[in-house]
Amino acid sequence: MGVLDGKVAVVTGSGRGIGRGIAMKFAAQGASVIVNDPGVNVDGSGHDAGPADQVVDEIKALGGQAAANYDSVAEMSGGENMVKQAVDAFGKIDILVNTAGILRDRMLFNMTQEEWDDVIAVHLKGHFSTIKPASILMRQQRYGRIINFSSSSGTIGNTGQFNYGAAKSGIAGLGRVVAKDLGRYGVTCNIIAPGAGTRMTATVPDSARELRAGSGIQGAASNAPVQESAYAGLRDPEFVAPMVTYLCSDDAWDINGWVFNVSGGSISVSRYPVAERSIFKPGHWTLPELDDAVQNVLMKDINNPAPPRDDIEVPGRDIAARVLS
């Protein structure tokens, strides 16, 4: 007996990486799985039925039930087709997991409109294209589990991921709204910000990694040297699957609208941005009051994650230096 016995799941982007691990785990726990993957390259180009077919073959070889789907989540028809296929093949849809993604990393001042549009289409619109048709059926049956995939790039920000970070931040917000819209109907929606080594993270240039490290911008999905040396084996993408499986089980019926940072054996939870510090006065602030309160209270000892280089003349920096001296 598995915790997902009798359940039907659609897992996007499940021909490789994190999605593959989730599809395999779901099947091992008794779910019938629609394995979606158009088999594109990391940048979204190309097409290959092989990855989805291989996962389906592996699931069937282990005695499970699965069917391949090659639609793109960037099109509304793609999401609709996946949900329809789940119903046609297995009678219903209980679980939707959105892991499909591409990367078009570039510094914002060099990014093209096409690079922006393509990443937003697959990630942010890609969640809408699947959640919309799935939500209709889940609402009717008064049951459902939806898992969205965000990233530290969306929750913290990563250099060179202007498009990806915007999409992933939007996905977290989208997930919180879905949780509130559908919770009353017995449907939960939670968000995973994974930390795992995949073919997508492997494409991040070393120069970008160095910039992020130097700026202190490192989240759950970073490739920090300390993490790599101490927990290298835990960055296998399959380590994300158990938490996703648990959240899709009946035991997690009342867990809804949360962001879970999952990296190897580490799991943390957050829901809303937490205030680091606050200041207050009754009435309007004057600019001199704000200058004093912001510098000496609100932002005291809170560093700029990406300060300007020392060789750049920055108005105001000399004032701060004189005050400190």
Q: Which residue has the tokens 């915007």?
A: 166
Amino acid at 296: N
Q: Distance between CA atoms of 78 and 212, rounded to whole angstroms?
A: 35
State the alpha helices, DSSP H only, in 223-272.
225-231, 241-247
Q: Six-digit token pair at 288?
A: 């001199």
Helix (H) / strand (E) element for 136: namely helix 126-141
- Per the annotation, the verdict on 164 as an active-site residue is yes
Neighbours of 235 (CB within 10 A): 19
Largest CA distance in the chain: 72
Q: Six-digit token pair at 287?
A: 């600019």
Burial string for 54-93 (b: 16+ CB within 10 Å, else e) reads bbbebbeeeebebbbbbbbbbeeebbbbbbbbbeeebebb
Which SS3 state, helix, strand or coil, does residue 46 take?
coil
Beta-bridge partner residues of 11: 35, 97
Distance of CA 245 to the CA centre of its chain: 16
Q: Distance between CA atoms of 121 and 134, rounded to whole angstroms?
A: 18
Q: Strands of 32-36's sheet, edge to edge?
A: 66-69, 32-36, 8-12, 95-98, 144-149, 187-194, 259-263, 266-270
Which of 70, 164, 185, 272 is catalytic? The answer is: 164
Q: Six-digit token pair at 49?
A: 């039925």
- In the 8-state DSSP scheme, what is residue 237? G
Q: Distance between CA atoms of 140 and 127, rounded to whole angstroms?
A: 20
By annotation, the residues acting in catalysis are 164
